[in-house]
Amino acid sequence: MLLKRRAGVLLHPSSLPGKSDQGDFGHEAFRFIEFLSACGFSVWQTLPLGPTHSDRSPYQSLSVHAGSLLLISLDWLVDHDWLPSSALDETDINAEYRQACLKKAYAGFCQHADEKMRQAYATFVEEKADWLHDYALFLALRNDAGGRPWMEWPAALRDREAKAMLDANRRFHEECEYVRFEQFVFNMQWNELRDYAHKNGVYLFGDMPIFVAHDSAEVWAHRENFLVDEHGNASVVAGVPPDYFSETGQRWGNPHYAWDHIRKDGFQWWIRRMQSQLKLFDLVRIDHFRGLEAYWEILAESETAQQGHWVKAPGDELLKALFEAFDDLPLVAEDLGTITKEVTDLLYKYKLPGMKILQFAFNGDPENPYLPQNFTENCVVYTGTHDNDTTLAWYETLPEADRKYLHEYLDGSDVPMPWLLNKCALSSVARLAMLPMQDILGLGSGHRMNIPGTTQGNWQWRFEWSQVSDGLAERLRALIQLYGRLN
């Protein structure tokens, strides 16, 4: 993908328009692909697609392999005659209603699916058996426990004792079958969307969190891979020290990896995880890449991330194993934050493109690595990411000195924001230029996707087609062609 200059858009499917409480893989997703193609964009970047906890953060998933039921299109289920069309007459389609519809669709599948579809389901279950059965039972047990994390379950289930597991599989057989069906539908819908994207000249760019949520199927089923005690509790957790995004750092709360155990079989757990991502995406970003070289370790009882220290990780060994397992591994490294020479050396050794954020560039320092003059071709440039405010909102709060420097540097006093920064990204030497949908639409304050270090009010932003102005696609296509990114 990155052998040619390209341009893309950053938008999570949950931000697509629609009448439900969030976007999904329905008709609007196909329309969005058509919009990208009309504009000349050849890359669609999403956030992680996994099943989320109640805060809906895609970076704290219940599974590193499974997909979120909230992204499943109900229209698709109606089109396959597994769900009655009357289900879509509901005006308040939320998470609970979606799940109720999926359970009706499962009953419809059991009654009406033809032999070809039943065989496709059986094949899917067999191919995904190394994670799907654990995830299905984990979710069934978690639901039975009222949503409590697995560390608070009865000890026999928490510790996966043989008799308790056998009894649970018998007791929750039907619930597990439903979860497997749910994942089958997610897989079917995503594959159709991916195929449509490819037919329209659009590649899919995914995002893989480096750490795993504590309350997840993987930590429950493979406790030996994580630094947790005999009760499943972690004494140290992940995060990052104080940085641009937060004065107190970010305490994520994920358990750290038991790297000594993971390396014993040649990092097979990580290889299987990457394999799942490559089934979904043409290009994968490793979030918090620097954590593969050294990670920030925080005592679990600490309320903030300020008190912590760096601990070395076997990133070189891991990447070597991954590149040996996959040909032409299509990775991008999220190399933001505290970047050391060791992290940079790891990027160079494996020729991984890093990220450049233009909102970080204009502080008056000519050595600033985010200034376009300091780019190399092998990078991905963004105006901002899902963790930044929109470019217009950022610009409006920029100190006057930085704003003056920005205009002097870009010589664009007559070009309004965010188009000045959009053009800067597209014209740069970076092989891939990514624009958040908010910046394409010129949106200001109130349209942010996430504020790092906070847990309320995030992951809810959505756009509307009415915000797409007449002539926008033609304007974007002309710029993308002008800067040699039309493919």
Catalytic residues: 287, 334, 387
- Cα torsion 88, 90, 92, 93: sign: negative
Distance between CA atoms of residues 372 and 385, nearest Å: 17
Angle at 175 between CA 172 and CA 181, to 5 degrees: 140
- Amino acid identity of residue 359, one-letter, is Q
CB 252 within 8 A of CB 211: yes
Rounded-to-integer distance, Cα 226 and Cα 228, Å: 6
DSSP category for residue 382: E
Query: Are the CB atoms for 21 and 425 separated by under 8 Å?
Result: no
- C-alpha span between 372 and 358 (Å, rounded): 8
CB 287 within 8 A of CB 207: yes
Residue with tokens 């920029």: 398
Cβ–Cβ under 8 Å, residues 244 and 338: no
| CB-based burial, 263-301: b 16+ in 10 Å, e otherwise | beeebebbbebbebbeebbbbbbbbbbbbbbbbbbbeee
Neighbours of 214 (CB within 10 A): 23
Amino acid, res. 410: L
